[in-house]
C-alpha cells in the first residue's frame, strides 16, 4: 500500500539494513553532542543556576526530573506512532522501533518518579506524595509495563508487534483522559495549591540550562534507542546475508 504523498525516504526507512547503516553513522555524533549537552547542563544546573527563592537548592533536581518526565511522555507517543506505522504499512522496522522504545520509556518514567521523590523529600518531608503529576507518571509507567509484558508473553514476533501496537494506541487515546481525571481528582483531595511544576515565569538563567538538559537527554536516550534498535535489527534479520557477513567480519 504505497501512498504517493509520502516521501521516498519514508519507504527507504523500511529497510532494516539501511536503518542499521544510518544509525551506525549517527551514533558517534549523538554520543558526542549528547555527552556535551548533558554534562554542561548538569554542571550549569547544579552549580551555576540561581537557587529558587522558595525551595532553595533542592529544586535543582528539576534539571533531571522535568526532562525525564517530558521524555517519558514523548517516547510513549513515539512508541504508539511507530506501532501504528508498523500496523498500517506492515513495516518491520517500525515494529522494531516500537519494541526498542518501550523499555527506554519505562526507564525514563522510573527516573522521573525517582527524581520526583528526591525532590519531594526535602520539600514536603516524605518520599512520595499523591499529586497529579507523579500519579500520572506512575500510570504512564503502568502503561509501559503493560506493553512490555504483552510483548514478552506472545511468542510470534509479528503477532506481538501488532498486539502491542494496538495496546499502545489504546493507551495513547487514554493518556489525556487519565491526566485530566487525575488532575481533577487531585484538586478534590489537596486544596492546598502545591503545584510542583507550576512555576511563575522562569528567568532565563533557570530555563536555559533546563532546555539544554531536555535536548541533551533527548539525544542521549535517542542514542540508547538507536543502540537497542541495532541489536533488534541484527537479531531479527539474522538469517539475511548482510547480517551474516557483518557478524563474520566481527568474529
CA distance 5 to 115: 43
| Residues 141-160 close enough to bind other proteins by CB under 8 A | 142-143, 145-146, 149-150, 153-156, 158-159
- Burial class for 133, CB neighbours closer than 10 Å (0-12, 13-18, 19+): buried
d(CA 140, CA 177): 12
Please, which residue, 159 or 197, has the CB nearer to other proteins? 159
Residues 74, 70, 195, 175, Cα dihedral to 10°: 10
Residue 2 binds to other proteins (criterion: CB under 8 A)? no
HSE-CB at 230 with a 13 A cutoff on CA atoms is 15
Q: Which range binds other proteins by CB under 8 A, 47-55, 112-120, 183-191, 243-251?
A: 183-191
Pick out residues in 187-246 that bind other proteins (CB under 8 A): 188, 239
What cell numbers appear for 26 in the block?
549517527
- Piece of the chain touching other proteins by CB under 8 A; list 19-27, 109-117, 121-129, 168-176: 168-176
Binding range to other proteins, per CB under 8 A, among 17-25, 69-77, 99-107, 176-184: 176-184
> Cα–Cα distance between 49 and 7 in angstroms, integer?
44
- Please, are residues 232 and 96 in contact by the beta-carbon 8 Å criterion? yes
Q: How far is residue 226's CA from residue 82's CA, in Å, rounded to a whole number?
A: 14
State the nearest-atom distance from the C-beta of 135 to other proteins, in Å: 9
**Minimum distance of other proteins from residue 165's CB (angstroms):** 9
> Of 35-43, 93-101, 102-110, 177-185, which part binds other proteins (CB under 8 A)?
177-185
Q: Which of 36, 39, 170, 202 binds other proteins (CB under 8 A)?
A: 170
Binding residues (CB under 8 A) for other proteins: these are: 1, 139, 142-143, 145-146, 149-150, 153-156, 158-159, 162-163, 166-167, 169-171, 173-174, 177-178, 180-182, 184-185, 188, 239
Amino acid at each position: 500500500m504505497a501512498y504517493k504523498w509520502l516521501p521516498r525516504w519514508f519507504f527507504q526507512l523500511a529497510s532494516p539494513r539501511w536503518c542499521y547503516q544510518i544509525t551506525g553513522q549517527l551514533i558517534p555524533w549523538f554520543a558526542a553532542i549528547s555527552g556535551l549537552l548533558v554534562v554542561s547542563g548538569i554542571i550549569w544546573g547544579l552549580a551555576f543556576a540561581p537557587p529558587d527563592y522558595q525551595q532553595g537548592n533542592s529544586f535543582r533536581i528539576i534539571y533531571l526530573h522535568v526532562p525525564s518526565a517530558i521524555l517519558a511522555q514523548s517516547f510513549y507517543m513515539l512508541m504508539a506512532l511507530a506501532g501504528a506505522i508498523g500496523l498500517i504499512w506492515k513495516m518491520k522496522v517500525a515494529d522494531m522501533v516500537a519494541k526498542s522504545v518501550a523499555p527506554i520509556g519505562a526507564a525514563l518514567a522510573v527516573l522521573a518518579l525517582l527524581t520526583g521523590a528526591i525532590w519531594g523529600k526535602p520539600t514536603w518531608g516524605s518520599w512520595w506524595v499523591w499529586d497529579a503529576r507523579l500519579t500520572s507518571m506512575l500510570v504512564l509507567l503502568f502503561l509501559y509495563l503493560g506493553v512490555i509484558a504483552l510483548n514478552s508473553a506472545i511468542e510470534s514476533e509479528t503477532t506481538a508487534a501488532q498486539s502491542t501496537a494496538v495496546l499502545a494506541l489504546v493507551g495513547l487515546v487514554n493518556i489525556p483522559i487519565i491526566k485530566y481525571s487525575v488532575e481533577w481528582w487531585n484538586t478534590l483531595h489537596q486544596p492546598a495549591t502545591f503545584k510542583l511544576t507550576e512555576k511563575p515565569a522562569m528567568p532565563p538563567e533557570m530555563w536555559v540550562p533546563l532546555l539544554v538538559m531536555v535536548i541533551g537527554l533527548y539525544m542521549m536516550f535517542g542514542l540508547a534507542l538507536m543502540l537497542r534498535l541495532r541489536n533488534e535489527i541484527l537479531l531479527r534479520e539474522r538469517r539475511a546475508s548482510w547480517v551474516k557477513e557483518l557478524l563474520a567480519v566481527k568474529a
